[in-house]
Structure 1
Amino acid sequence: MPGTLVIGASQAGVQIAATLRELGDEEPITLIGEEPHRPYQRPPLSKKWLKSELVPGDVILRTREWYDGQRIDLVSGDRVVTIRRDADGTGLAMTQGGRQLAFDRLALATGSSVRRLTIPGTDFHGVHYLRDADDAYALEAALHDPANRRVVVIGGGFIGLEIASVARSVDKEVTVLEASPRLVGRVVSEQTSAFYLAAHRRRGTRVVLDARLQRIVGGAADAAGRRSRVVGVELADGVLIPADLVVIGIGVLPRTELAIQLGLEVAGGIVVDAHARASDGRTVAAGDCTAMPNPYTLGVPGLTRIESVNNALEQGKVAASTLLGRPATYASVPWFWSDQADLKLQIAGLSAGYDHVVVRGRPEDERFCVLYYRGGRLISADCVNQPAEFLAVRGALAKGHTIPPDRAADMSTPLKLSVTEPVAA
Structure 2
Amino acid sequence: MQSVTIVGAGVVGHASAAALRAHGYTGHLTIVGGERHRPYDRPPLGRGFLTGETTIGELALEAPSEDLGAEWRLGVPAVALDAAARRVTLANGRTLESDAVVIATGSSARRFDPMPRGVHTLRTVEDALALREELLPGARMIVVGSGIVGLEVASTARDLGLQVTVLGSTTDALCTAFGGAVADAVYRLHSRRGITVRTDLRVAELIGPGWVSGVRLTTGEEIGADVVLLDIGSVPLAGWLGEAGLDLRGGVVCDAAGATAVPGVVAVGDCAAWFDPVTGLHRRIPHWSDTRDRPGIAMAALLGVDPATALAPARVTSEQGGAQVQFAGRLRGGEDVTVEAGSPSTGDLVAVYRRGSVPVAVLGIDQPLLVADWQGRLEPAPVDPVMDASAPG
- Percent same amino acid among aligned pairs? 32
Q: What corresponds to 1:112 in structure 2?
A: 107
Looking at structure 1, the residues matched to 179 and 273 of structure 2 have their Cα atoms a distance apart, in angstroms, of 24
Cα distance, 1:329–1:65 mapped onto 2, change above 3 Å: closer
2:157 is matched with which residue: 159, 163, 167? 167
- Verify: 1:305 aligned to 2:300, yes or no: no
Cα distance, 1:243–1:85 mapped onto 2, change above 3 Å: closer
- Verify: 1:243 aligned to 2:225, yes or no: yes
Q: Find runs of 4+ consecutive structure 1 residues off by over 4 angstroms.
A: none
Looking at structure 1, the residues matched to 54 and 177 of structure 2 have their Cα atoms a distance apart, in angstroms, of 29
- Residues 372, 381 of structure 1: 8 Å contact kept: yes
What SS is found at the alignment partner of 2:328?
strand
* RCO comparison, higher one (Cα < 8 Å, 6+): 2
Structure 2: which amino acid aligns with 1:103?
Answer: S
Q: What corresponds to 2:24 in structure 1?
A: 24
The alignment's TM-score, normalised by the length of structure 1, stands at 0.83
- Verify: 1:387 aligned to 2:368, yes or no: yes
**1:238 deviation in Å?**
3.1
Cα distance, 1:300–1:379 mapped onto 2, change above 3 Å: farther
Structure 1: which amino acid aligns with 2:322?
Answer: D
Looking at structure 1, the residues matched to 171 and 276 of structure 2 have their Cα atoms a distance apart, in angstroms, of 27
Aligned residues: 379
- Verify: 1:347 aligned to 2:327, yes or no: yes
- Verify: 1:289 aligned to 2:271, yes or no: yes
Cα distance, 1:330–1:230 mapped onto 2, change above 3 Å: farther
Looking at structure 2, the residues matched to 26 and 106 of structure 1 have their Cα atoms a distance apart, in angstroms, of 16
2:183 is matched with which residue: 167, 171, 193? 193
Cα distance, 1:368–1:180 mapped onto 2, change above 3 Å: closer
- Residues 6, 101 of structure 2: 8 Å contact kept: yes
- Residues 122, 128 of structure 2: 8 Å contact kept: yes
- Residues 144, 203 of structure 2: 8 Å contact kept: no
- Residues 112, 206 of structure 2: 8 Å contact kept: no
- Residues 274, 330 of structure 1: 8 Å contact kept: no
Looking at structure 2, the residues matched to 359 and 260 of structure 1 have their Cα atoms a distance apart, in angstroms, of 48
2:257 is matched with which residue: 251, 272, 275? 275
- Residues 355, 372 of structure 1: 8 Å contact kept: yes
Structure 2 residue runs of 5 or longer lacking an equivalent are: 382-393
**1:84 deviation in Å?**
2.7
**1:301 deviation in Å?**
4.8
**1:110 deviation in Å?**
1.0
Cα distance, 1:52–1:341 mapped onto 2, change above 3 Å: farther
Q: What corresponds to 1:323 in structure 2?
A: 302
1:337 is matched with which residue: 294, 306, 317? 317
Looking at structure 2, the residues matched to 266 and 85 of structure 1 have their Cα atoms a distance apart, in angstroms, of 13
- Verify: 1:130 aligned to 2:128, yes or no: no
Looking at structure 2, the residues matched to 376 and 358 of structure 1 have their Cα atoms a distance apart, in angstroms, of 15
Looking at structure 2, the residues matched to 45 and 141 of structure 1 have their Cα atoms a distance apart, in angstroms, of 14
Deviations 1:60-106 (A, max 9, x none): 1116873xx432011110111122344xxx43222112322121111
2:343 is matched with which residue: 362, 372, 375? 362
Cα distance, 1:375–1:179 mapped onto 2, change above 3 Å: closer
- Residues 341, 351 of structure 2: 8 Å contact kept: yes
- Residues 154, 249 of structure 1: 8 Å contact kept: yes
Structure 1 residue runs of 5 or longer lacking an equivalent are: 220-227, 401-425
**1:38 deviation in Å?**
1.0
Looking at structure 2, the residues matched to 136 and 76 of structure 1 have their Cα atoms a distance apart, in angstroms, of 19
Looking at structure 1, the residues matched to 164 and 352 of structure 2 have their Cα atoms a distance apart, in angstroms, of 31
Matches within 5 A, 1:209-224: 209-218=199-208
**1:390 deviation in Å?**
1.5
**1:282 deviation in Å?**
2.6
Q: For structure 1, which segment, 387-396 or 351-360, has the greater mean C-alpha deviation from structure 2 after superposition?
A: 351-360
- Residues 181, 209 of structure 1: 8 Å contact kept: no
- Residues 314, 330 of structure 1: 8 Å contact kept: no
Deviations 1:45-70 (A, max 9, x none): 1122122210011111116873xx43
**1:334 deviation in Å?**
1.5
RMSD between aligned residues: 2.3
Looking at structure 1, the residues matched to 306 and 282 of structure 2 have their Cα atoms a distance apart, in angstroms, of 19
- Residues 284, 322 of structure 1: 8 Å contact kept: no
- Verify: 1:94 aligned to 2:89, yes or no: yes
